[in-house]
Amino acid sequence: MNKVLIVDDQQLVLLSLERCLTELGYEVKCSNNIYDAIEQYEVFKPDLVITDINMSAQSNHVPLQDTYNEIVSNVSGLEVLKYIRFVKKQHTPVIILSGNVDEDIIVTGFELGANDYMKKPLSLREIGIRVGRLLGDTNIKRKENIKEQYIQNTCIGVVIPCYNEEERLLSEEFRSFVRKNLGYHLCFVNDGSKDNTLAVLKELQKGNESHISVYDCPKNGGKAEAVRLGMLHLAEQKQFDYIGFLDADLSTDFDDFSDLVKTITNSKYKIVSGSRISRMGADITKESARKIISMTINFIIRKTLGMEFRDTQCGAKVMTTDVVEKTFGRKFLTKWLFDVEIFMRMKKVYGNKQVQEMLCEKPLNRWIHADGSKLSFKDSFKIVGQIGQIALHYR
The torsion defined by the Cα of 207, 245, 239 and 73, in degrees rounded to 10, comes to 160
- Rounded distance, CA 54 to CA 284, Å? 42
- Rounded distance, CA 280 to CA 298, Å? 11
Across the chain, what does the average pLDDT equal?
85
- Which residue in 131, 105, 97 sits closest to 10, CA to CA? 97
pLDDT at 261: 96
pLDDT at 99: 77
* Residue 160 φ then ψ, to 5°: -130, 100
pLDDT at 345: 93
pLDDT at 77: 85
Checking if the pLDDT of 310 tops 60, the result is yes
Checking if the pLDDT of 53 tops 70, the result is yes
pLDDT at 334: 87
- Which residue in 96, 85, 52, 232 sits closest to 157, CA to CA? 232
pLDDT, average across residues 319-337: 93
Q: 151: Cβ–Cβ under 8 A, 6 or more apart, which residues?
A: 12, 13, 16, 17, 120, 121, 122, 123, 124, 182, 183
Q: What is the pLDDT of residues 137-185, one digit of tens each?
A: 865 555 555 667 899 889 999 999 999 999 889 899 999 999 999 999 9
Domains, the chain, in order of start with CATH, read 3-146 (3.40.50.2300), 154-250 (3.90.550.10), 270-362+374-395 (no CATH)
3-class SS of residue 273:
strand
Checking if the pLDDT of 60 tops 50, the result is no
- Rounded distance, CA 326 to CA 346, Å? 8
> Helices (DSSP H) in 181-320: which residue ranges?
197-205, 223-235, 254-265, 288-305
Pick the residue with more confidence: 174 or 296?
Answer: 174
Q: How many CA atoms lie within 13 A of 313 on its CB side?
A: 19
Q: How confident is the model at residue 121 (pLDDT cuts 50, 70, 90)?
A: confident
pLDDT, average across residues 22-34: 93
pLDDT, average across residues 361-389: 72
- Which residue in 168, 116, 124 sits closest to 145, CA to CA? 124
Sheet order of strands, 156-162 included: 212-217, 184-191, 156-162, 242-245, 317-320, 271-275, 359-363
- Radius of gyration for the chain, computed over Cα atoms and rounded to the nearest angstrom: 24
Share of the chain above pLDDT 70, in %: 85
Q: What is the pLDDT of residues 248-258, one digit of tens each?
A: 988 899 999 99
Q: Which of 4-8, 81-85, 282-286, 346-350 is predicted with the least confidence, judged by mean pLDDT?
A: 282-286
pLDDT, average across residues 236-265: 93
Pick the residue with more confidence: 66 or 389?
Answer: 389
pLDDT, average across residues 278-294: 56
pTM, entire model:
0.86
Checking if the pLDDT of 39 tops 80, the result is yes
246 in Cβ contact with 316 (< 8 Å): yes
pLDDT, average across residues 206-231: 95
Pick the residue with more confidence: 101 or 58?
Answer: 101
Checking if the pLDDT of 120 tops 70, the result is yes
Q: Which of 9-18, 65-74, 349-358 is predicted with the least confidence, judged by mean pLDDT?
A: 65-74
Q: What is the pLDDT of residues 70-83, one digit of tens each?
A: 444 445 789 999 99
pLDDT at 289: 64
Pick the residue with more confidence: 366 or 293?
Answer: 366
283 in Cβ contact with 275 (< 8 Å): no
Checking if the pLDDT of 388 tops 80, the result is yes
Checking if the pLDDT of 192 tops 50, the result is yes
Pick the residue with more confidence: 295 or 253?
Answer: 253
How many CB atoms are located within 10 Å of the residue 263 CB? 15
Q: 75: Cβ–Cβ under 8 A, 6 or more apart, which residues?
A: 34, 55, 56, 57
Share of the chain above pLDDT 90, in %: 56
CA 63 to centroid of chain Cα atoms: 32
Pick the residue with more confidence: 73 or 309?
Answer: 309
pLDDT at 280: 44
From the DSSP assignment, how many helices (H) and strands (E) are in the chain? 15, 14
Q: Which of 81-90, 138-147, 360-369 is predicted with the least confidence, judged by mean pLDDT?
A: 138-147
pLDDT at 369: 61
Burial 212-239 (b: 16+ CB within 10 A, else e): bbbbebeebbbbbbbbbbbbbbbbebeb
pLDDT at 285: 45
Strand partners, 234: none
- Which residue in 72, 85, 21 sits closest to 50, CA to CA? 21
Checking if the pLDDT of 373 tops 60, the result is no
